[in-house]
Structure 1
Amino acid sequence: MQSRRKLRFRLIVSFALFGFGLSALFAFAALNIRTRVEDQLVNSSLLDDARWANQQAQQHPGTPAGSRLLTGSMYSDRTIYRAPLSWQNLDNGVHDIYENDQDGQRRHYKLAVYRENGIISFLRYDVSREELGKQQLIISVIGAVFLFGLLSLVLGFWLSRKVLKPVSELARRLRDFRKTGKAEPLAPDFADDEVGELALALDEYSQRLTAMVERDREFNSDVSHELRTPLAVISSTTELLQGSPDLTDKLRERLKRIERSSRQATELIEALLLLSRAERRGPTRGETTEVAKVASDVIESQRPQMRDKPLEVELIVRQPVSINAPASVLAVALTNLIGNAIKYTLEGRVTVEVSGDRIEVIDTGPGIKPEDAERLFQRGVRGEGAGGSGAGLGLAIVRRLCDLYGWDVSMRPRTGTNGAVASIVFK
């Protein structure tokens, strides 16, 4: 994963690198030009001076040889042997030589040689001092590069603060809106520039989002009212009918199924409304919900699915568990988990075990693949095996409810035998 840095930091670094790079490029160009120009001037001057000395020696044979720039040495073809051995075979031109001076220090010289009409003139120019000056110039230029780089960094800090101040102010205003829960127009407080255009776009987005949230809130309220009313009528009617003395056992059983289905629908509506609002609500009057009791009610409501199946459902309470959540939320989660276990298990046993801080649903069905355990909680994913019909939304709803209340829900295959284990860990 790439690291994410603040825009201000990137601006400062970019400005500093630009200033440093530009200064370094300028310093390199200045040193290169200085070296080339100096070398050409020195070579040209030495060669001209050697030519002038040669001409003076030809025109005034008895006059000692001199130099307009430097003192040099004049030899003829007969006296050339007196010259240093390393000079005697040099051609016309300027040569770089390295010799020791009187103090024994090795120095760098430029030697101009000119041969004409039997006369050889030598002019030696000490460039060691020039090299010392060049080193001092390089040190000065490097210091200037770092100084300008530091100045660019300081200037980058100042400019970034000034340039990004409107962006920081916009971010602060947005954070204040999140705290107060009320959005106010942003664009009037900013200039008509890029930041103002961004603020205007945020205002338009906020208006659309507010309208959408308001429509969702109204829809949730309408659904809550319109669905709960007929369900309440169904519940009250079945309750009255069950009090009739002339009911047969078959009719009484059917009325109980209608009552359970009505209660499940009411619980599901309440859970879905909580999810749509992302609202975490506890039980009324500060009461806690007994996990075992809810699990027992869910098991009873799922018994009609076990008809014509050699299947047993068992509830084991090893340790009572109470949670601070509505019974309807837990009932919806357990209905999906226990209902799936009963649906996919053709024969054998489904065990619901309550212990410690969790509840587990253990079945003897075909089981699941380890790599599919997490994928089954995705929306639209259905399990493989018997009874694999449905929209694949049940486990996705369970995951969202558990995330809302901070619970951990998971599925895993049983070890050493067929079947799967679904568990909810309460925190």
Structure 2
Amino acid sequence: MRSRRKLRFRLIVTFTLFGFGLSALFAFAALNIRTRVEEQLINAALQDEVDSLNQKVRENPNEPPAIEIVKGRTFSDRTIYKAPLAWQNLDTGVHDIFEDDKDGKRHHYKVAVRRDGGIINFIQFDVSRDELGKRQLLTSVIAAVFLFGLLSLVLGVWLSSRVLRPVTDLARRLRDFRRVGKAEMLAPHFADDEVGELAVALDEYATRLTAVVERDREFNSDVSHELRTPLAVIASTTELLQGSPDLTDKLRERLKRIERASRQATELIEALLLLSRAERRGPTRGEVTDVAKVASDVIESQRPQMGGKPIEIDLISDGSVTVNAPASVLSVALTNLIGNAIKYTMEGQVTVRVLDGRIEVIDTGPGIKPEDAEKLFQRGIRGESATGGGAGLGLAIVRRLCELYGWDVSLRPRPEMAGAISTIDFR
């Protein structure tokens, strides 16, 4: 996962790196220029001086030459042995010699040599002091780099605090809105700049969002009233008709189907309204539901879907399993899973197993492909063997309900034979 850093941190790092980089570049350029210029000046001066000395000796061999550099020595091919050992084999040019003085202190010399006409001239120049100055310059430049870097860091912290203060204030006000649950206009609190423009855009978005939420709340309230009322009428009328003594068995069975369908519709509406409210405010807790009992009721309500198919429906419970959720939520989820198992199983068996912390629905239908298992929980996606009507929303609703209450719903093919296994894990 890619790391995210605050804008203020990025500004501070940018100013600091810029300061260090600029200072380091300046220091490198200063040292490099100084070294090059110094090298050229010393070499040119020594070479000119040794050439002048050689010319003077040749013109007036009996007069001692005037030496303007600190040390100068002249030898011939016959007296070269009297020269310092380190000088005797030096060719014409400028050379670097390192020697220790009487006190054991190491010195660095530049020695210019001219061999011409049997005359050998040496000019020695001590550059130790110059190297000391170079080290002092290096120390000063390094100190300047760190000083400029520290100043850049302080400047970055100060500027980032000044620049990002409106953004921080905007974020704080947005967090306050979330905490108190009430939004107010942001634009009046900010200047007419980029942050103010962002505040205006957020105000416009909040206005539109508030209108959408209000319409959604009104719609949910209308749906709750307009749908529950006719369903209650259907349920009460069906109950009264079932009490009639002159009903035939066929009519009584049809009335039971109407009653079951009415109850399922009521549970579905309650679950969807609960889902709509809970996604804004959080899930409803406090109601303990027996999973095995709800599964038994759902199985009985789904038996008419068998339509004469040779299917056996079994409920196996290994113990008492309860969940902290409304029964209508669990009923809607199990109705979709068990209903799909019955729908796609032409013959065989549908087994509902209530285990420790989970419930499984196992069928002997055509099964599913492993790569299609997760896709079936998306809106509008139906299985390859799906027939008849349907918009492919059942499993999508089940996924939303399970995510709301922290359950894990999954679908996988049976490993040993044709069929599918759907599971809701409550842990």
Whole-Å Cα distance in 1 between the matches of residues 289 and 119 of structure 2?
A: 120
Whole-Å Cα distance in 2 between the matches of residues 388 and 151 of structure 1?
A: 75
| 1:29 Cα deviation from its structure 2 partner | 0.3
| 1:280 Cα deviation from its structure 2 partner | 4.8
Q: Is residue 227 of structure 1 aligned with residue 227 of structure 2? A: yes
Cα pair distance change 1:291/1:226, threshold 3 Å: same
Whole-Å Cα distance in 2 between the matches of residues 358 and 95 of structure 1?
A: 90
SS at match of 2:172: helix
Q: Is residue 369 of structure 1 aligned with residue 385 of structure 2? A: no
**Where do residues 306-325 of structure 1 align in structure 2 (5 Å cutoff)?**
306-325=306-325
Whole-Å Cα distance in 1 between the matches of residues 179 and 348 of structure 2?
A: 54
Q: Is residue 159 of structure 1 aligned with residue 185 of structure 2? A: no
Cα pair distance change 1:358/1:61, threshold 3 Å: closer
Give 1:378's aligned residue: 378
Give 1:111's aligned residue: 111
- Deviation by residue 1:64-117 (Cα, 9 ceiling, x = unmatched): 223223230134566556445665675654333445555676643222234667
Give 2:418's aligned residue: 418
| 1:351 Cα deviation from its structure 2 partner | 1.7
Cα pair distance change 1:287/1:38, threshold 3 Å: closer
SS at match of 1:341: helix
Whole-Å Cα distance in 2 between the matches of residues 187 and 280 of structure 1?
A: 30
| 1:332 Cα deviation from its structure 2 partner | 0.8
Whole-Å Cα distance in 1 between the matches of residues 149 and 282 of structure 2?
A: 55
| 1:175 Cα deviation from its structure 2 partner | 0.7
Whether the 8 Å CA contact 1:51–1:114 is kept in 2: the answer is yes
Whole-Å Cα distance in 2 between the matches of residues 136 and 36 of structure 1?
A: 17
Give 2:27's aligned residue: 27
Whole-Å Cα distance in 2 between the matches of residues 226 and 169 of structure 1?
A: 45
Give 2:135's aligned residue: 135
SS at match of 2:215: helix
Give 2:181's aligned residue: 181
Letter aligned with residue 356 of structure 2: G
Whole-Å Cα distance in 1 between the matches of residues 93 and 351 of structure 2?
A: 105
Letter aligned with residue 138 of structure 2: I
| 1:158 Cα deviation from its structure 2 partner | 2.4
Give 1:351's aligned residue: 351
Give 1:297's aligned residue: 297
| 1:388 Cα deviation from its structure 2 partner | 7.6
Cα pair distance change 1:127/1:342, threshold 3 Å: same
Cα pair distance change 1:293/1:100, threshold 3 Å: closer
Give 1:71's aligned residue: 71
Give 2:273's aligned residue: 273
Q: TM-score, normalised on structure 1?
A: 0.89
Whether the 8 Å CA contact 1:224–1:269 is kept in 2: the answer is yes
Whole-Å Cα distance in 2 between the matches of residues 415 and 61 of structure 1?
A: 113
Point out the more displaced range, 163-172 or 111-120. 111-120
Give 1:333's aligned residue: 333
SS at match of 1:74: strand
Q: Which runs of 4+ in 1 moved over 6 A?
A: none
Whole-Å Cα distance in 2 between the matches of residues 140 and 290 of structure 1?
A: 80
Whether the 8 Å CA contact 1:274–1:280 is kept in 2: the answer is no
Whole-Å Cα distance in 2 between the matches of residues 394 and 112 of structure 1?
A: 97
Give 2:204's aligned residue: 204
Cα pair distance change 1:118/1:346, threshold 3 Å: same
Whole-Å Cα distance in 1 between the matches of residues 386 and 379 of structure 2?
A: 20
Q: TM-score, normalised on structure 2?
A: 0.89
Q: Is residue 403 of structure 1 aligned with residue 403 of structure 2? A: yes
| 1:394 Cα deviation from its structure 2 partner | 0.9
Letter aligned with residue 172 of structure 2: R
| 1:333 Cα deviation from its structure 2 partner | 0.6
| 1:182 Cα deviation from its structure 2 partner | 0.8
Unaligned runs of 5+ in 1: none
Q: Is residue 194 of structure 1 aligned with residue 194 of structure 2? A: yes
Give 1:15's aligned residue: 15
Whole-Å Cα distance in 2 between the matches of residues 157 and 104 of structure 1?
A: 51
Whole-Å Cα distance in 1 between the matches of residues 283 and 42 of structure 2?
A: 91
Whole-Å Cα distance in 2 between the matches of residues 80 and 191 of structure 1?
A: 87
Q: CA RMSD in A?
A: 2.7
Give 1:94's aligned residue: 94
Letter aligned with residue 250 of structure 1: K
> Share of identical aligned residues, percent?
74
Whether the 8 Å CA contact 1:271–1:329 is kept in 2: the answer is yes
Aligned residues: 425
Cα pair distance change 1:54/1:392, threshold 3 Å: same
Give 1:6's aligned residue: 6
Letter aligned with residue 396 of structure 1: A
Whole-Å Cα distance in 2 between the matches of residues 366 and 153 of structure 1?
A: 68
Letter aligned with residue 170 of structure 2: L
Cα pair distance change 1:291/1:389, threshold 3 Å: same
- Deviation by residue 1:133-163 (Cα, 9 ceiling, x = unmatched): 3233223322322232233223322222222
Whole-Å Cα distance in 2 between the matches of residues 320 and 162 of structure 1?
A: 62
Cα pair distance change 1:352/1:47, threshold 3 Å: same
Whole-Å Cα distance in 2 between the matches of residues 240 and 388 of structure 1?
A: 33
Whole-Å Cα distance in 1 between the matches of residues 60 and 187 of structure 2?
A: 92
**Where do residues 240-279 of structure 1 align in structure 2 (5 Å cutoff)?**
240-277=240-277, 278=279, 279=281
Whole-Å Cα distance in 1 between the matches of residues 24 and 335 of structure 2?
A: 72
Unaligned runs of 5+ in 2: none
| 1:47 Cα deviation from its structure 2 partner | 2.7
Whole-Å Cα distance in 2 between the matches of residues 311 and 213 of structure 1?
A: 46
